[in-house]
Amino acid sequence: MTAPDSKLPIAYTRPSITDLEVEYATDAARNGWGPRCYDYIHRFEEGFASHLGVSRAIATSSCTGAMHLGLSALGIDAGDEVILADTNWIATAAPIVHLGATPVLVDILPDTWCIDPALAEAAITPRTKAIIATHLYGSMCDMHALLAIGERHGIAIIEDAAEAIGSAWGDKRAGAMGTFGTFSFHGTKTVTTGEGGMFVTHDAALAAKVDQLANHGRDPNEPRQFFPTVTGYKFKIANVQAAIGCAQVERIDELIAGKRRIMARYQALLGDLDGMSLNAEPEGSTNGFWMPTAVFSPETGITRERLMEAFRAEAIDARVFFWPLSSLPMFPDNPGNVNAYDVPGRAINLPSYHDMSEDDQARVAGVIPKLRNR
């Protein structure tokens, strides 16, 4: 039993699950077998493709799997290079390494925390096969600049939109502009299936390769049963997971609006504080605000460690900003990526979930002025 003076914990995120998700998942568990084993998967793919305005969407076991499939279908191999932002979760870089290619890590812009297009272009070599644009915490990469770079150099621009459901560049949704895009439906994301992902593209030939690779290398036109024609992978989503995804896609506008509502409340509570900034939304872009993030100026003296300590003391589960990939033991150090190394040490991800109350947001926001006054 909770003591009268104790504080109820505030999670940093959790999904929005209604009776609709339970109804679809129950139907899939009871009836989604045999000839119906792909029903919800196909429905999920079609619904998500329609939302994005892309030709094809292929549901996968994770966003990492979707990225691996897309890179493999592009022919990324040993000796190739793929450029990406040093500020990233390991999932974006891992498929590059697993395919034998080299991740080339460049710095981020200080406001959106996304890849710096000028540095990405400067890093291109004859071995460069792709640039990955990670829309961090919902912030959009400069897709106008990146797509122009891709066209100038004849290289693929890939969108890691794992955190960017609800984000857009002009009237184009995140994930729908590059050679291909990938999405995450992890339990922390705006749209969830528990675990799961999606590969999306306008390129029919590329989609056909991904379809084959995702299913053990089996060609749908091969008449012989259980006769794969290439060595593929097993990155398929389950029908029960896809059933939850179908319900989430039906509610997607509501879920996106919920994230923006949470962010608007944080902006109202914290927007006037000097020496602190929240997620950027440059003119002409839309931020889905998956993860509200506060970054403090060096002059405040507020550090990641002080922030985590203060939030823990209030039973609030805040989250650290991504460490630079090049600071991890498996990659060469590159402290020359100044912003990627500087920002995480004075930043924090704030709790954000669809049914978060205004009182709980006020409790979260109330931690910050206390830190500034110490």
Where do the domains of the chain lie? 19-250, 252-372
Instruction: Answer yes or no: are the C-beta atoms of 351 and 11 closer than 8 Å.
Output: yes
pLDDT tops 90 at residue 371: no
In the predicted structure, residue 2 carries a pLDDT above the cut 70:
no
Q: Give CA–CA dist 319/308, Å, rounded.
A: 8
pLDDT at residue 3, rounded to an integer:
41
For 254, residues 6+ apart whose C-beta sits below 8 A from its C-beta are none
28-86 residue pLDDT tens: 999 999 999 999 999 999 999 999 999 999 999 999 999 999 999 999 999 999 999 99
> Does the structure show a pLDDT above 70 at 19?
yes
Q: Say which CATH topology domain 252-372 has.
A: Aspartate Aminotransferase, domain 1 (3.90.1150)
Q: Print burial letters for 135-170: b (CB count within 10 Å at least 16), e (below 16).
A: bbbbbbbbbebbbebbeeeebbbbbbbbbbbbbbbe
- What residue type is 167 in one-letter code? S
pLDDT, residue 7, reads 83
Q: What pLDDT is recorded for position 96?
A: 98
The band of 27, judged by pLDDT with boundaries at 50, 70 and 90, is very high
CA distances from 325 to 87, 97, 352 (A): 6, 13, 25
pLDDT more than 90, % of the chain:
95
Q: pLDDT value at position 373?
A: 57
The amino acid occupying position 329 is P
pLDDT digits (tens, 9 = 90+) for 307-329: 999 999 999 999 999 999 999 99
User: DSSP string of 147-209?
Assistant: HHHHHHHT-EEEEE-TT-TT-EETTEETTSSSSEEEEE-BTTSSS--BS-EEEEES-HHHHHH
Distance CA 105, CA 52 (A): 28
pLDDT value, residue 154: 98
CATH code of domain 19-250: 3.40.640.10
Mean pLDDT of 17-33: 98
Buried b (16+ CB within 10 A) or exposed e, 3-25: eeeeeeebebbebbbeeebeebb
Parallel, antiparallel, or unpaired for β 102-106 and 81-85?
parallel
Burial 186-202 (b: 16+ CB within 10 A, else e): bebbbbbbebbbbbbbb
DSSP class of 48: H
Band of pLDDT at residue 6, cut at 50, 70 and 90: low
Predicted confidence band of residue 4 (pLDDT cuts 50, 70, 90) = very low
Sign, Cα dihedral of 55, 65, 80, 343 = positive
Burial of 106 (0-12, 13-18, 19+ CB in 10 A): buried
pLDDT(104) > 50 = yes
Mean pLDDT of the 116-122 span: 98
User: Is-contact 275 297, C-beta < 8 A?
Assistant: yes
Question: What confidence tens digit (pLDDT) does each residue in 276-310 have?
Answer: 999 999 999 999 999 999 999 999 999 999 999 99
Q: Cβ distance 8 to 2 under 8 Å?
A: yes
Tell whether the model's pLDDT for residue 352 goes beyond 70. yes
Residue with tokens 């699950």: 17
The mean pLDDT of the chain is 96
86 with 196: CB under 8 angstroms?
no
Average pLDDT over every residue of 213-232: 94
From first CA to last CA, the distance across the chain in angstroms is: 33
